[in-house]
Chains A and B, each alone.
Chain A
């Protein structure tokens, strides 16, 4: 995000040393209090009883099942939204058509819906007392309180990540390169694989990274559709909640620390992408 411009700050823009010091101190104190301390406390609490208790909490069967389920759900939800993101940005960025703005707004819609509502809508649709509940039951299909429900809720909350990253990027890049490839005789798929994809690969990776972080960490939406069956429909964040409510704090923070490490890795990779390939990510991203 931060692209330091060599503005070589002119005297008119220089604040006095006092103001500068005070503002930096305020900002750092605020961030220390609200960001750093919570992060550090996760690891401190997790290791409170030593490394043995820490490992025991992670290799316990229910924890292993939760880790596996989280990976399975993300492994289904992220590729789905990846495919959607590429398709949506192709038709939105490469073509001019009526209703485009409405389409973009609708794609962003899941971000402005509360996670709990994101889960609720699927319960209303597929739950036992939902619109399609009786039909699904007669067919012996279970969606809510099962893996399909978890995947659907996760897909919903991570829906816009890849698309909103790629749309501005592909709009910036324009159509000239693809048109040249087509004129030179490439097929549509060849053009996509050899021209478009190499151009958007870092933006794509960036979108997938954020999508994955949210998919693995989502709590509210999956909590509503999961049913909290230990060892079966508990993802890692839900497992953290159960352990915490049982006052098994060391175990709760141990599992939480794995999620926190995932968040840190995400932040590092994200920053590296921004520093190394800032120009190849969309400039209009926020």
Chain B
């Protein structure tokens, strides 16, 4: 401990000269201790294990990686996972937006309970959601039997069932990203639109919606990303037929059970890469929209 700073005088042994180069001076103690602990814990729990994943996939080599990933079964699962997550996120974008609108703009009996209930998919263990949904939508379930009788529609054990489960899982993301933005929207803009002769619909379309669109897109992206990785709520209702209703996370589990560690790692890396590219694209789109909206 050479050349103690003021903070070290108060609580010794917290930050030395090396750290004071890194940060702006402060009288508060504990920077070295807490940052050191944070970085160590982060590295041990998150970064090193993720590096092991990359390392295992890299062990396959460039062509080996693509050979493991470009099989018909993986590609089919890729389509199922990404396609149905997209569909579920789209459903949530519509209905989640309506829910957020209703919760912010209207008063009705029980609105607070409804608001609290929106977080249920965050709180309910995914396995519980999975068996509950598959029981509901099974051909002899409450909803499944009605859909069967009225439309001849099978939901459980088909891709449609996967979309249902992913809709359940993704709902809070859209509501909880749109809701605070809608709440903080200044009423003056809509009042001005009305004063200038706009109808309710016009002022919604031209004033309110553009202001909410970035939040809606964020919610959409979060729901989508969650859907791609989701496992517990899907596998019970999916039927898990290879090529038809098999999702990527399940394929990882199957490869692990066959001791194909490298193959599992390759699919894992593919999933992470695809999600990363997608989120990056959405971030760029958002930044572009914000700059356009600001002008």
Contacts and interface: CB of A to CB of B under 8 A. Distances in A.
Interface of A: 1-5, 7, 9-13, 15-16, 19-20, 23-24, 26-28, 30-31, 33-39, 41-42, 45, 84, 87-88, 90-92, 94-98, 103, 106-107, 109-110, 112-117, 120-125, 127, 129-131, 152, 155-156, 159, 175, 178-179, 182-183, 187-189, 191-192, 210, 213, 216-220, 223-224, 236-238, 240-241, 244, 249, 252-253, 256, 259-260, 262-264, 266-268, 270-271, 275, 286
Contacts of B49: 121-122, 124-125, 156
Closest 10 CB pairs of A and B: A114-B229, A217-B125, A188-B11, A97-B23, A219-B232, A12-B194, A220-B231, A188-B29, A121-B49, A116-B249
Most buried by A among B14, B98, B106: B106
Most buried by A among B38, B42, B52, B190: B38
Contacts of B53: 117, 120-121, 124
B28 interface: yes
Contact of B124 (A39, A113, A249): A39
A253 B250 CA distance: 23
Interface stretch (B62-70, B72-80, B109-117, B287-295): B109-117
B230 interface: yes
B31 to A, nearest CB: 5
B17 to A, nearest CB: 14
B143 A33 contact: yes
B229 A116 contact: yes
Contact of A114 (B103, B115, B228, B261): B228
Contact of B171 (A35, A116, A268): A35
Nearest to A133: B261
A2 B243 CA distance: 43
Contacts of B142: 37, 41
Contacts of A187: 10-11
Contact of B46 (A20, A106, A263): A106
Given A5-B183, A39-B124, A42-B128, A130 B34 contact: no
B56 interface: yes
Contact of A26 (B28, B95, B103, B123): B95
Contact of B190 (A13, A90, A91, A115): A13
Contacts of A240: 127-128, 131
Interface of B: 10-11, 14, 22-24, 26-31, 33-35, 37-39, 41-42, 45-50, 52-53, 55-56, 95, 98-99, 101-108, 111-112, 114-133, 135-136, 141-143, 164, 167-168, 171, 176-177, 179-180, 183, 187, 190-191, 193-195, 200, 203, 225, 228-232, 236, 248-250, 252-253, 256, 259, 261, 264-265, 268, 271-272, 275, 279
Contacts of B194: 11-12
B272 A113 contact: yes
B266 to A, nearest CB: 11
Contacts of A114: 228-231, 248-249, 268, 271
Contacts of B231: 114-116, 219-220, 223
A223 B253 contact: yes
Given A45-B135, A87-B37, A117-B268, A10 B115 contact: no
A127 B177 CA distance: 39
A122 B268 CA distance: 13
A273 B288 CA distance: 37
Contacts of B229: 112-117
B128 A95 contact: no
Contact of B55 (A90, A131, A224): A131
Contacts of A262: 125
B136 A182 contact: no
24 contacts: A7-B187, A10-B191, A37-B143, A38-B132, A41-B135, A87-B33, A88-B34, A88-B42, A90-B34, A96-B23, A106-B47, A113-B50, A124-B265, A152-B45, A156-B46, A159-B45, A182-B10, A187-B11, A213-B123, A220-B232, A223-B232, A224-B256, A256-B127, A270-B116
Contacts of B193: 12
A13 B23 CA distance: 48
Contacts of A4: 107
A215 B198 CA distance: 50
A125 to B, nearest CB: 4
A98 B24 CA distance: 9
B112 A271 contact: yes
B226 to A, nearest CB: 9
Contacts of A98: 22-23
A76 B216 CA distance: 37
A176 B284 CA distance: 37
Contacts of B27: 179, 182-183
A259 B31 CA distance: 39
Nearest to B231: A220
Contacts of A26: 95, 98
A103 B114 contact: no
Nearest to A39: B120
B95 to A, nearest CB: 5
B38 A124 contact: no
Contacts of B30: 90-91, 94, 188, 192
